[in-house]
Amino acid sequence: MFLTQFMTKGWRALATRGTDKPDRFRNVSLIWAAVALAAFGWSVSAMLQANLFESGPLAEQLFKPHAPELWSRLAMVCALLCLGIIGQRVLARRRRVEAQAAHYARILDSSWTEIYFFDGKSLRYVQTNEVARRNLGYSTQAFMQLTPFDLMPELDEFQFNTLAGPLRRGERDQVVFETFHRRADGTDYPVKGRLQLHTKESPPVFVAIVQDISERRAHLAQMQRRNMYDTLTDLPNRHLFDDRLGDAIAAARRETTPLALILLDVSHLRDIRDTLGHRSADRVLQQIGNRLQYVLRPSDTVARLGGGEFALALPAVDFEYAIEVAQRVRKELAPPFTLEEIPIHVDAHIGIVLFPEHGDDPDILLQRADVAVRQAKREKADYVIYNPARDPYSLRRLTLFGDLRHAINQGDFMLYYQPKVNIKTREVASVEALVRWRHPKEGVISPSEFIPLAEHTGLIKPLTTWVLNEAIRQCRACKQAGLNVKMAVNLSAGDLQQLHLPDEIAKSLAAWEVGAHDLVLEITESAIMEDPERALRVLARLDTMGVQLSIDDFGTGYSSLAYLKKLPASELKIDQSFIKDMAHNSDDATIVHSIIALAHSLGLKVVAEGIETAEVLEVLGILGCDTAQGSYMSPPLPSDKLIAWVKAQRVTLDKVSYAN
C-alpha cells in the first residue's frame, strides 16, 4: 500500500504540465528516490522471508520453489529503477526546455517592438509580448479573443488575404506593411510591421513583428513642414508657394478665370539689421507676415520667398481687386513696428501681374512680377503693374545670357575712354575706361544691360580681368606716347567680393610696367554695401598697394557717413542726376555744393560727371569742383582716337571742341 501511494505520486508528478511552481522538479526527484528505496526494501524483505541469507549458497537459494516470486519482485525493482532513470532524464530535459522557453519569453517581453502570434486558420491571437499588451491596453485574456481585424481598423478580409497570399503560396518569406493600430481606448497610432507564416506548425502560425512609428511620422512631418514653410514667419516658402501657384493657375485655366500675383519687397530691412541686429530684423519680418494675412481671403496665399520678399496669390480676381489689395498691403505696413520701445517704419515696393495676360507659368509670372517690383523701386512708386513694353529682359535677356560667355571667349568686348578734365589747370587728368559689347545682332550693348547678367551668371570675374588688363595696357600706351594720364576702371559689387582681386591687379600692373598710382578704381556706394566688411578688406589692400579709389555715383546709394570715413578713397564722383539740371534747379545746386564741401572736408577730390553744357561747367567751377567729365568735353572715344585727342586738345572753360 505504501509503495502504491509513492508510485501514484511519482506518476502524477511526471504527468504534471503547465505548472509554474519552481520546486516541481525537485519534488519529483525526491518522490522517485523514495519509490526506488521502497522497492529495494520490499525486495530485501522478500529475501529475508525466504531465508535466502541463512544457509547455503545464494545461487541454490535462488532456485527454490519460492524463487519465482522473488524473481518477479527483483524484476519489478529493476523496472522501477529503469523507469526512474528514464523519468529523471525526461524531467531534466523538460526542465531545460521550459527554462529556455522562460528565457526566451523574458527576451520577448523585453523587446521594444510589438510581437504577435495568431492562428493561421482562425486568425485569433495565441500569444503576444508585454509591449504589445501595454501599447494597446489589453490584458492577456482579452487578447486571446481578438483577431488582427480588431486591432487594424483599415484592414478587411480581402486586404489581409492579399497581404498574406504570397506567404501562403510560399512565394515570399515575409511581407512588410504599414497601417494603424487601434488601442482599447479607441485611439490610433501608426505602425510598420513584418508578417511571416510558419507552416511547419500545426496549425500554421502567423508571426507579426510591429514597430510603433509615431515618432518617425512626427519627425517626417516636421521635416516636411520645414521644407515647405518658412521657419521664421511660419508662412509658406518658395517651394510651397510655387506648388500652390501652379495649382491655382491650373484651376484658373480650367475655369477660365483670372488670377493675380502680387510681389512685394520690403525696404529698410538692412538698416534695421545694421542698427538693431539680426533678431530685431527677424521680429519685423514676423510681424510683417502677420499683418499681410489680414488682407487675404481664405482662398488666397501669402508666402515669404526670402529676405524681405513676400508674394500673394489671389485666385479669381482682376486688376481692380489686385490694386485694392496692394493698397491695403501698404496701409497695413504703414503703422510703425515697435521694437524695444523704438518705432520702426518700413516701406514696400509692389509689383502686380495677372494670369493669363502676363504669362501662364509660375516662373514667368514671378519673373515678371519681379521686373515690376524693380520698376517700382526705380520710380519710387507705391506699386507698378507689369508692362511688357517696359521689360528690358524677357526673351532678349535670355538670348544675351547665352551669348555672354561666347562673347568673352571670342573677344567681342571693347573699351572706350572718356577724358576727365581738371577744371583749374585745364588739363586732362585721367580717362575712364568704359566697356562695350559688340553683339553681332544687337550692335553695341551698354554695360547697364550686360553687367547684371555677368554678375548673375558668375562671368563678372573673367570680364573684369579682361577689362583691367586692357585698360592697364592702354595706360601703358599713353605713357609711351608722352601723356601723363591716369586710367580709371569701374568695379562691380561682385568684383569687391573677390579677395584675390588685388593680386590679379598687381600681376597686370607688373606685366605692363604701370605704377599702381596711375590706376583709379571707381566703386559705387551700393556695391560696397553688398558686404561692407568684405569690401573694406579688398579696398584696404588696394590702398596699401598705392591704387587710388574713387566713390562713383555718390548721392544715389544708402551708405552712411560712418562708412564714408572708413573708405580709403581719394576721390568722389557726383552722380549725373544732380549735375544735369543744376544750372536751373536750385535744389540740385545746393546738393552739389554740399557734396563738394563735404568731400573737401574729408580730403577728397570731387569729379562731376554728365556735363552737357558750358553753363553747368561754369557753375561747377564757381562751386569749387575739381574735375569735370561729360559729353561737353568729349564723348567716350575708341583707343585709336584717344591719344590723338588728348595731344591735340587745348581745353578751356568756355569752349571745348571735339575730335572724332
Q: What is the dihedral of CA 610, 616, 622, 626, to 10 degrees?
A: 20
Asked if the model's pLDDT at residue 7 lies above 70, the reply is no
> pLDDT tens digits for 23-51?
555 555 556 566 666 666 666 665 555 55
CA distance 475 to 486: 7
Separation between Cα atoms, residue 338 and residue 336, nearest integer Å: 6
pLDDT one-digit tens code per residue, 356-375: 888 888 888 988 898 899 88
Question: Sorting pLDDT into bands at 50, 70 and 90, what band is 279?
Answer: confident
Per-chain mean pLDDT for the chain: 80
- pLDDT of residue 607 exceeding 90, the answer is yes
pLDDT at 443: 86
pLDDT tens-digit map of 388-447: 766 766 666 667 777 888 888 888 899 999 999 999 888 898 999 999 999 888 888 888
Number of neighbours of residue 505 by Cβ within 10 angstroms: 23
Closest to 479 in 3D by CA, of 426, 523, 517, 521: 517
Alpha-carbon span 483 to 646, nearest angstrom = 8
Q: Distance between CA atoms of 392 and 399, rounded to whole angstroms?
A: 12
Query: Which one-letter amino acid corresponds to residue 370?
Result: D
pLDDT of the residue at 471 = 95
Three-state SS letters, 548-578: EEEEEEECCCCCCHHHHHHCCCCEEEECHHH
> What region, left, alpha or beta, does residue 353 occupy, with left being phi > 0 and alpha being psi -120 to 50 degrees?
beta
Interacting residues of 305 by C-beta distance below 8 A, sequence separation 6+: 237, 238, 241, 311
**Peptide bond connecting 356 to the previous residue in cis, omega within 30 degrees of 0:** yes
What is the reported pTM? Answer: 0.48
Averaged pLDDT, 565-569: 81
Residue 99's pLDDT is 59
Q: In whole angstroms, what is the distance from residue 134 CA to residue 136 CA?
A: 6
pLDDT in tens, 481-520: 988 899 999 998 788 888 899 999 999 999 999 999 999 9
The 3-state DSSP class for residue 257 equals coil
What's the CA gap between 485 and 643, in Å, rounded? 10
Helix, strand, coil percentages, rounded to 5, for the chain: 50, 20, 30
Residues 505, 485: Cα–Cα separation, whole Å: 18
Give the Cβ contact number of residue 76 at 10 Å: 14
pLDDT reported for residue 541: 93
C-alpha cell at 157: 478580409
C-alpha cell at 543: 590702398
**Which 3 state secondary structure label does DSSP give 53?**
coil
Most confident of 83-87, 243-247, 402-406, 431-435: 431-435
User: Is residue 651 predicted with pLDDT exceeding 50?
Assistant: no
